[in-house]
């Protein structure tokens, strides 16, 4: 039986849009289900999210400034926690959306994809929570101390900062997987990544300087993992490019009349 070839099975734009809508609807339902479950434990989740703050500001209470703020924050925290809880299922929905563009042997990698993408996302979030958030709060505390002010921080500001940073780190750690699929689609290759390595390095350190407190240790704490991820992405792009070239070469040798041109 002839192997499934995505280059011979093109989907029309409307088919892509219908498939995207289907995956988004299912993902929304999954996040909603997870949020409902996490809402019952919103107090415990708040304690976890606030722990780095109270370690840095032991004598500074968190305050609310509107009657509905606590309820709105519980919903916000529950939705984000629900997305984390359902992240394997969400990544599976992403796989179902992109799998029609893969070869049969690649479509069998669904389990490694779900496991790896979830591990990278959660790993980036945990790394941020353990290392970056405490350092950031410690820096902000020292700034208050330097001007002799006792801070009283809004709970909404603290939670928003923590959630945004944690989710952002989780997303950044998906760089190797993003590179794989961009290379698989012919949009990117290892030579492009190598050519722009110096530019990427400048961008990484700039991002580290913006996100982290302005001290060298904190900046390196973010920049080093990002640089390693970028380097890993170069290796991934190289392997994918080699495999795609070898497969296209084999197709050209075995059935030259049916071979399709390489994607740009």
| Encoded tokens for 156 | 């909404």
Q: Which helix (H) or strand (E) holds 206?
A: helix 197-211
* Alpha carbon separation from 98 to 25, 57, 120, 264 (Å, rounded): 16, 45, 19, 18
Give the pLDDT confidence score for residue 253 in this predicted structure: 67
| C-beta separation of 164 from 64 below 8 A | no
Regarding pTM above 0.75, the answer is: yes
What is the 8-class DSSP label of residue 262? P
pLDDT, position 5? 52
Strands (E), the chain: 62-63, 153-154
pLDDT at 96: 87
Distance between CA 219 and CA 215 in Å, rounded? 6
pLDDT at 34: 95
> Which pair of tokens denotes residue 17?
């849009």
Q: What is the pLDDT of residue 40?
A: 92
- DSSP letter at 62 equals E
Distance CA 102, CA 12 (A): 16
Give the Cα separation of 63 and 127 in Å (integer): 27
Q: pLDDT tens, position by position, for the chain (264 residues)?
A: 445 455 555 566 677 788 889 999 999 999 999 999 999 999 999 999 999 999 999 888 899 988 899 999 999 999 999 999 999 999 999 888 887 776 677 677 788 889 989 999 999 999 889 988 888 888 888 889 999 888 889 999 999 888 988 888 888 888 888 888 778 767 778 888 888 888 888 888 887 777 665 556 667 777 888 888 889 888 888 888 887 766 665 666 665 554 444 443
CA 40 to chain centre: 26
Residue 38 CB neighbours (<10 A):
22
Which pLDDT belongs to residue 264?
Answer: 36
Place of tokens 């002010």: 149
Domain regions of the chain by residue span: 8-134+146-167, 174-254
């Amino acid at each position: 039986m002839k192997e499934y070839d995505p280059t011979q099975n093109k989907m029309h734009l409307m088919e892509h849009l219908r498939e995207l809508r289907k995956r988004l609807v299912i993902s929304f339902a999954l996040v909603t289900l997870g949020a409902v479950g996490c809402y019952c434990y919103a107090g415990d989740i708040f304690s976890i999210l606030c722990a780095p703050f109270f370690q840095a500001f032991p004598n500074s209470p968190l305050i609310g400034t509107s009657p509905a703020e606590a309820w709105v924050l519980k919903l916000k925290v529950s939705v984000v926690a629900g997305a984390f809880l359902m992240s394997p299922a969400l990544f599976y929905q992403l796989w179902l959306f992109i799998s029609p563009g893969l070869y049969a042997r690649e479509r069998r990698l669904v389990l490694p994809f779900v496991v790896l993408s979830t591990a990278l996302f959660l790993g980036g979030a945990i790394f941020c929570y353990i290392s970056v958030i405490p350092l950031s709060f410690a820096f902000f505390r020292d700034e208050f101390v330097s001007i002799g002010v006792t801070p009283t921080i809004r709970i909404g500001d603290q939670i928003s900062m923590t959630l945004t940073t944690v989710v952002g780190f989780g997303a950044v750690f998906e760089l190797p997987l993003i590179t794989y699929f961009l290379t698989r689609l012919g949009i990117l290759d290892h030579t492009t990544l190598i050519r722009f390595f110096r530019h990427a390095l400048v961008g990484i350190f700039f991002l580290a300087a913006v996100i982290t407190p302005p001290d060298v240790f904190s900046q390196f704490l973010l920049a080093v993992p990002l640089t390693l991820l970028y380097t890993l992405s170069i290796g991934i792009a190289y392997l994918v490019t080699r495999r795609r070239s070898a497969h296209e070469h084999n197709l050209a040798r075995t059935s030259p009349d049916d071979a399709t041109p390489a994607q740009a």
